[in-house]
Amino acid sequence: MPTLAPSPAWHTLDYPRVLDLIKAEIDRIGALIAEADDGTVRVPSCPEWTLAELVRHTGEIHRWAAAILTRLPQERIELTEQERALPGNWGAETAQWFAEGGARLLAALRAADPEAPCYAWGADQHAKFWFRRMLHESTMHRIDVEYAVLGQPGGLDAAVASDNIDEFLANVPSMARFRPAVRELHGDGETIHLHATDLDGAEVPREWLITLEPDGFRWSHAHVKGAAAVRGTVRDLALWVNGRLVQDDPALERLGDEPLLTYWRNRTSF
């Protein structure tokens, strides 16, 4: 299992703002569903899914997180068929089902104590894990829906994008439960440097250093040159880290050890 060094305690998004951001993402996805005539189109950023499958996945995740936040279980739970209540047809029925799931999630988040212990698939076994996770889950799947409906991704708040990269790196070791390739992440000190080019002067992290070690990897916000580097806007870096931009996307500048970047991406994509 990969190891993870403690990351800087740098979370600039407070809970009320997180709730507002999640609501905005849910509303945006709902508007895109209403705009799309065909749920069978493929999702370019998740090619194994159709648009309908992506929306159903996102809506189920919202319902699952709402159930966890409401019940505060100490072990993983699964939704019943009745709780999932998947929509049958694409269109108004899907839009209503998705909106209902989003409303459940927001109500559960508003009522939750962020410090309450509960099951989480990440290292942080508290309700606050789900505040952060639902923000970034909803954001990335909104990007996916935009790719499918509009052909390109929309904008991403700089602070959200920066925190997204932090959260992704913090969660990678826990992904081994459903992404076994993560267990192959190791090395002898090889480093990857991510540098956001549009955050000079901003009070959010703009650099990330990933160091591969024999037992896994560590990361920090160090300003250190890496054996490989990826440079671009913080939005594009977040999309790249999450596999929403292809390895050689021209929006990003890649330097140094290209096979190292491929090695990282192949083992962290999901």
State the CATH number of the domain containing residue 205.
3.30.1050.10
Q: Note whether residue 160 is domain-resident.
A: no
Q: What is the mean pLDDT of each run of 10 residues along the chain (270 residues)?
A: 49 86 98 95 95 97 98 97 89 94 98 97 94 97 98 95 94 89 93 95 90 94 95 97 90 96 91
Q: What pLDDT shows up at residue 8?
A: 53
Tell me which residue range forms the domain holding 115: 15-154
The three-state secondary structure class of 220 is strand
Q: How many CA atoms lie within 13 A of 136 on its CB side?
A: 25
pLDDT at residue number 1: 47
Q: How many helices (H) and strands (E) does the chain have?
A: 8, 7
pLDDT of residue 2: 45
Number of domains in the chain: 2
Examine the domain organization and report whether 104 and 48 are in the same domain.
Answer: yes
Q: What is the DSSP secondary structure assignment for residue 191, as one 8-state letter?
A: E
Considering the domain architecture, whether residues 195 and 134 belong to the same structural domain is answered as no
Amino acid 3: pLDDT:
45
Q: Do 45 and 143 sit in the same domain of this protein?
A: yes
Q: Residues 119, 67: one domain?
A: yes
- Is 165 contained in some domain? no
CA 55, CA 49: separation in Å to the nearest integer?
10
Residue 248 lies in a domain: yes
Residues 41 and 91 occupy one common structural domain: yes
Please indicate, yes or no, whether residues 184 and 113 belong to a single structural domain of this protein: no
Contacts 24+ apart (CB under 8 A), 49-56: 51/145, 51/148, 51/149, 52/90, 52/94, 54/141, 54/144, 54/145, 54/148, 55/29, 55/94, 55/98, 55/145, 56/86, 56/87, 56/94
CA dihedral over 22, 24, 25, 31, signed as positive or negative: positive
Same domain? For 179 and 237 the reply is yes
In a domain, 1, yes or no: no
The reported pLDDT for the residue numbered 5 is: 42
Contacts for 184 with CB less than 8 Å, ≥ 6 apart:
267
Of residues 166, 211, 169, the one with CA closest to residue 190: 211
pLDDT score of 9: 54
User: Is residue 55 packed enough to be buried (19+ CB in 10 Å), middle (13-18) or exposed (0-12)?
Assistant: buried
Shared domain check, 187 and 124? no
